[in-house]
Amino acid sequence: MLNLSTSSALFDRAKTLIPGGVNSPVRAFRSVGGSPVFMQHAQGAWLTDVDGNRYVDFINSWGPMILGHAPQIVLEAVSQALPQSLSFGAPTRREVEMAELIREMVPSIEKVRLVNSGTEACMSAIRAARGYTGRAKIIKFEGCYHGHGDAFLIAAGSGALTAGEPDSAGVTQGVAQDTLTAPYNDVPAVEALIAANPGQIAALILEPVVGNMGLVAPADGFLRALRALCTEYGIVLIFDEVMTGFRLTSGGAQQLYGIRPDLTTLGKIIGGGLPVGAYGGREDIMNCVAPAGKVYQAGTLSGNPIATAAGMAQLRYLHEHPELYMALEATSARLADGTRQIAAELGLNYTVNRVGSMFSLFFTAEPVTNLEDAKKCDTAAFGRYFHAMLNRGIYLAPSQFEALFVSTAITDDLVDHYLRACRESLAEAHSAK
């Protein structure tokens, strides 16, 4: 068993100071039991906690550490930017260069606005869509998480699921009435919502590949059907690529599936892990945003010089080395296929979903294509598996409803290490039932 005494003591202190002892709910370990692990250091594929335990990381700060932790190219960019000041509250050259780079890598983005987080990007994109269309309502999908904006905490996924309360207190009935929800991968449900709300829907927002009910892929033709419906009814199609942008391919999920959204939201990966986000898309929609238009949105730290320096270093490296995505594909396939095979050999008909360098092991024998499927998982068994893996030095998301993220720092030896731990942990979790 791990020695987590320092983590436990820190958590006890934190609970007297911070709600629930954490600054992001899914970190609380409530769904898997026990106390969260407090981290101190990370390098490459490895995390080291405050008690000196080491783990192979399959969260990677929920996605952005695609090159592993503390890659030299990003550290050098940050060190060069630091002496020039941490914030100006004024325009900088890097903001322009970042916008040019994003537009080059994501062809659907004609104009882009930098913000401070994925949540802020999604909130702003919805506001821009409402301002552009003059309509109030939006469609989102059950289990898709777009940050903690009020409009998105209706049938949310991720941390809301893990906390056992998918709808948040503090969200007004008026906001809820303007948010329409449909099951993911269900085109007829979307058609019914559009028919029931003629001329009222400003935007349809979704994760094109879902990472917040576990990894769920779009069914064949699903994204294309949504694109056609949005075009027909003048609805702004928004792809939330906070997780998938620059991770699945250099152009994100929209490049992978060949679908051009009207707006795209981006997050942590464009800051190399530092707090940053962006939203962008069609020029006519983005020109509605202040000061060009009447849709107000602002932020003192938007496009801050340290985050843009780190983000450009990482994005340029990904752009210049497309072979990295082929390597990630091969590594991730070994991990996911190996997990699936081990479960089958142990007589556990569990489901493994994967797209690119994101994957999930669902503790259910049924296919997982939407939120209701995901909710059928044996979360108690997942909790036992999580702790068994943690004890073997594998750091997974502490929730059945989160995808895992693979970095280029995961070597063949570390894949073998993961698969050995997986076999032992699945057997342990099953025998303890």
Q: Which residue has the higher pLDDT, 158 or 380?
A: 380
pTM (two decimals): 0.95
**49, 178, 240, 378: which one is catalytic?**
240
The Cα 319–Cα 326 span in angstroms is 13
Q: Is 268 a catalytic residue?
A: yes
Residues 6+ apart with CB under 8 A from 429: 381, 382, 384, 385, 388
Contact call for residues 408 and 72 (beta carbons, < 8 A): no
Question: Which one, of 290, 269, 278, lies nearest residue 121 by Cα?
Answer: 278
> Tokens for 288?
């509605």
The one catalytic residue among 268, 317, 373, 418? 268
> pLDDT, tens digit, for every residue of 355-408?
999 999 999 999 999 999 999 999 999 999 999 999 999 999 999 999 999 999
User: Length of the chain, please?
Assistant: 433
Measured between alpha carbons, how far is 368 from 190 in angstroms, rounded to an integer? 19
Q: 5-70+322-431 belongs to which homologous superfamily?
A: Aspartate Aminotransferase, domain 1 (3.90.1150.10)
- Condensed to tens digits (0 to 9), the pLDDT of residues 166-224 reads 466 777 777 778 999 999 999 999 999 999 999 999 999 999 999 999 999 999 999 99
What one-character DSSP code corresponds to residue 64?
T
**What is the predicted pLDDT for the residue at 169?**
77
Contacts of 337 (CB under 8 A, 6+ apart): 352
Please check the confidence at residue 48 and state whether its pLDDT lies above 90.
yes
pLDDT for 112 equals 98
Look at the block and give the residue holding tokens 């057997």: 427
**Residue ranges per structural domain of the chain:** 5-70+322-431, 72-320
More reliable by pLDDT, 151 or 157: 151
Q: Which stretch of DSSP H or E encloses residue 401?
A: none
**Known catalytic residue at 240:** yes
pLDDT for the residue numbered 375: 94
- Report how far residue 353's alpha carbon sits from residue 216's, in angstroms, rounded to the nearest whole number: 7
- The number of beta carbons lying within 10 Å of the beta carbon of residue 232 is 9
Write the CB contacts of 379 (distance below 8 Å, at least 6 apart in sequence). 31, 363, 400
pLDDT at 165: 38
* Residues in a beta bridge with 289: 295
Q: Which of 132, 145, 279, 395 is catalytic?
A: 145
| Burial of residue 396, with CB atoms counted within 10 A of its CB: 0-12 exposed, 13-18 middle, 19 or more buried | buried
Active site (annotated) includes residue 378: no
In words, the CATH class of domain 72-320 is: alpha beta
